[in-house]
């Protein structure tokens, strides 16, 4: 998958998609941000994002994901007046990871369906036993198959994604299968982020669906309580599942993110 950049004004946004997914799931938000005057960059992070032909052994360590995201932030910082950061699912967790290191350099954060626990209502009963699968070499042959509702409350979109998943190895909501090395690295990153979250100083908006089937609102509540930011806003959505950037509440997600980013920039404006 290739990175995507939508050219706008002098204020940039780094948007990080979910684990083993692609920029497609963030394009509706990215386009709205561009219309609001922002330049938006959606990077490809090797060993993290989806790539045709990848195997479980293609997954890199979470520290490599962090380093690449940090590199992408620095590149934007060299060209633009401000840089805000956002991410979906584990992309939100990765956003927290770099924000803990960057401090006030991050103008604002939008944390979308950020996952600190895989405890949503659609998680399979055997999910707590996944740690057994992390034992080598089991983790290299078992994969978790994505299933309905695919993060979507919107039934029309869900049917379309189901058709895509049946015939392809990915859709707009990510890969049709998640491998255990990727999930294990994500959980390693989550453990660190829970400890470093208090270092974050950037204003943050936490947007989460009440009915998130992957990560319950527990993750959103934890972030709101433990993040170090002085300015934290929580938004709970009532007409979406996990993929809030493409589901029924996508317009509200975009509007709230733009409003929050604009306000955060105004706080930095001289005078």
Q: Which of 221, 211, 74 is nearest to 149 (CA)?
A: 211
CATH of the domain at 196: 3.40.50.1820
Read off the pLDDT of residues 177-224 as tens digits, 9 standing for 90 and up: 678 888 889 999 999 999 999 999 999 999 999 999 999 999 999 999
CA–CA gap between residue 237 and residue 214 (Å, rounded): 15
Number of domain units in the chain? 1
Read off the pLDDT of residues 78-124 as tens digits, 9 standing for 90 and up: 999 999 999 999 999 999 999 999 999 999 999 999 999 999 988 76
Quickly list DSSP for 218-261: HHHHHHHHH---S-EEEEEESS--S-TTTSTTHHHHHHHHHHHH
Residue 36 has pLDDT above 80, yes or no: yes
**Do residues 89 and 208 lie in contact, with contact meaning Cβ atoms separated by under 8 Å?**
no
- pTM (whole model) above 0.75: yes
CA–CA gap between residue 104 and residue 106 (Å, rounded): 5
Mean pLDDT, rounded, for 33-62: 84
* 3-state secondary structure (DSSP) of residue 184: helix
Q: Which residues contact 179 (CB under 8 A, 6 or more apart)?
A: 20, 55, 56, 59, 139, 140, 142, 143, 144
| Structural domain for 167, as ranges | 4-268
What angle, 0 to 180 degrees and rounded to 10, lies between the N-to-C axes of helices 90-102 and 180-196?
Answer: 40
């Amino acid at each position: 998958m290739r990175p995507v950049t939508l050219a706008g004004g002098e204020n940039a946004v780094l948007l990080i998609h979910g684990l083993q997914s692609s920029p497609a799931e963030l394009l509706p938000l990215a386009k709205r941000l561009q219309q609001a005057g922002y330049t938006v960059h959606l990077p490809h992070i090797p060993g993290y994002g989806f790539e045709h032909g990848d195997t479980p052994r293609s997954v890199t360590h979470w520290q490599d994901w962090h380093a690449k995201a940090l590199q992408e932030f620095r590149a934007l910082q060299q060209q633009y007046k401000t840089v805000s950061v956002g991410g979906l699912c584990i992309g939100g967790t990765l956003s927290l990871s770099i924000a803990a290191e960057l401090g006030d350099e991050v103008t604002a954060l939008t944390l979308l369906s950020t996952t600190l626990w895989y405890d949503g209502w659609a998680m399979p009963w055997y999910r707590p036993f996944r740690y057994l699968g992390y034992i080598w070499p089991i983790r290299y042959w078992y994969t978790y198959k994505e299933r309905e509702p695919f993060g979507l409350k919107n039934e029309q979109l869900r049917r379309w994604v189901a058709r895509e998943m049946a015939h392809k190895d990915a859709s707009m909501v990510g890969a049709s299968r998640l491998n255990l090395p990727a999930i294990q690295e994500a959980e390693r990153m989550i453990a660190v982020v829970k400890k470093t979250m208090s270092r974050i100083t950037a204003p943050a908006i936490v947007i989460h669906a009440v009915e998130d089937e992957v990560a319950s609102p527990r993750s959103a509540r934890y972030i709101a309580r433990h993040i170090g930011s002085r300015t934290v806003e929580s938004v709970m959505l009532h007409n979406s599942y996990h993929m809030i950037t493409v589901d029924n509440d996508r317009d509200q997600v975009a509007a709230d993110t733009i409003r929050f980013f604009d306000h955060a920039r105004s706080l930095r404006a001289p005078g």
